[in-house]
Structure 1
Amino acid sequence: MELALWFIIGALFLLSLVGVVIPVIPDALLIWLAFLIYQFGIDNATLGWTFWVPMTILTLFIIGADMLSNIYFVKKYGGDKWSMMAAVAGILLGPFVLGLFLGPLSIVVGPFVAVFLVQLVRGCGAEKSFRIALGTLLGFLSSTIAKIIIQLIMMIWFFIVVL
């Protein structure tokens, strides 16, 4: 039974990393689910407050990394609230609209195209629209890297504590 739980924990950790680039997979929630499976299924005493408090803080960093990175880069490259809304729509709709043609790359291309088109329609001109869309792309990529690093820290910390 314990081996099966370890397999589930490992699968949840891997799936959480996939969730960094596929927005419909709740990355941080899966890590917490793995922690809870360990806590209540394998060893009820190992994970104390010195584990849970830092994990809570790191989880808040995961959530914040997404928002702050996107806001920073979109603003830096001249975007506004419309750019941010278009980026979110592109992240959610990109895989459905472009997924057949681009596969996983649609997660990156979708927000870029959505922001570019919204800014063109708003009369920003092609060059400025491209610059704002590029800012959205940089925001997505930087938040992805930050989230992967934070998640790896959480996983390594977990293994240091439990092994």
Structure 2
Amino acid sequence: MEVFIWIVISLLFIGSFIGVIVPVIPDALLLWIGFLLYQFALATTSLGWTFWVPMTLLTLLLIGADLLSNIYFVKKYGGDKWSMLAAVAGIILGPLVLGAFLGPLAIIVGPFLSVFLVELVRSNGAERSLRIAFGTVLAFLSSAAAKIVIQLIMVIWFFFAI
């Protein structure tokens, strides 16, 4: 049974990293389910506040990294709430619509195209629309990189704590 629980914990951690790229997968939640599963199913002693407090702070940083990078880059390149909504739609729909043709690149091309088209329809001109779409891609890539680093810290900390 212990091996099965470790397999589930490992799959939860892997799923959290997939969640960095696939936005419908709740990355932070999967990490926490893995931590709690270990705590209540396998641990003989409590992980303690030296684990739980930093994990809570890192989780807040994980969520904040996503929001802050999107706000920063989209605003820096001239976007607004419509740009952000188009980017989210592109992240979700891009792989579904373009995945067969572009494979993993659809996660980047989808938001780029959706933001570009929304901004173009809003009469922002091709040059400005391209700039905003580029900013959206930078936001996604920077938040993904930050989230991967934060999640790696959390998982490594977990294994040192146990």
TM over 0.5: yes
Deviations 1:21-80 (A, max 9, x none): 011211111111110111001015231122111111111111111111011001101111
What's the offset of the Cα at 1:153?
Answer: 0.3
> Does the alignment pair 1:25 with 2:25?
yes
Q: Percent same amino acid among aligned pairs?
A: 69
Contact 1:46 1:161 in 2 (8 A): no
- Cα distance in 2 for partners of 1:48, 1:74 equals 39
Calculate the TM-score normalised by the size of structure 1: 0.95
Q: Please say if residues 16 and 31 of structure 1, whose CA atoms lie closer than 8 Å, have aligned partners that are also in contact.
A: yes
Structure 2: runs of 5+ lacking an equivalent: none
Match of 1:130 in 2: 130
- Normalization by structure 2: what TM-score? 0.95
5+ residue gaps, structure 1, are none
Specify the code of the residue in structure 2 equivalent to 1:16: S
Query: Is 2:93 aligned against 1:106?
Result: no
1:57 aligns with 2:22: no
For 1:159 and 1:12, locate their aligned partners in 2 and report how far apart those are by CA, in whole Å. 14
C-alpha separation in 2, matches of 1:37 and 1:118 = 43
Q: Look up the SS of the partner of 1:20 in the other structure.
A: helix
Please report the RMSD computed on the Cα atoms of aligned residues, expressed in angstroms.
1.1
Moved over 4 A (4+): none
Q: For the Cα contact (< 8 Å) 1:9–1:37, is it kept in 2? A: yes
- What are the residue-to-residue correspondences of 1:1-163 with 2, within 5 Å? 1-162=1-162
Bigger mean CA offset, 66-75 vs 3-12: 3-12
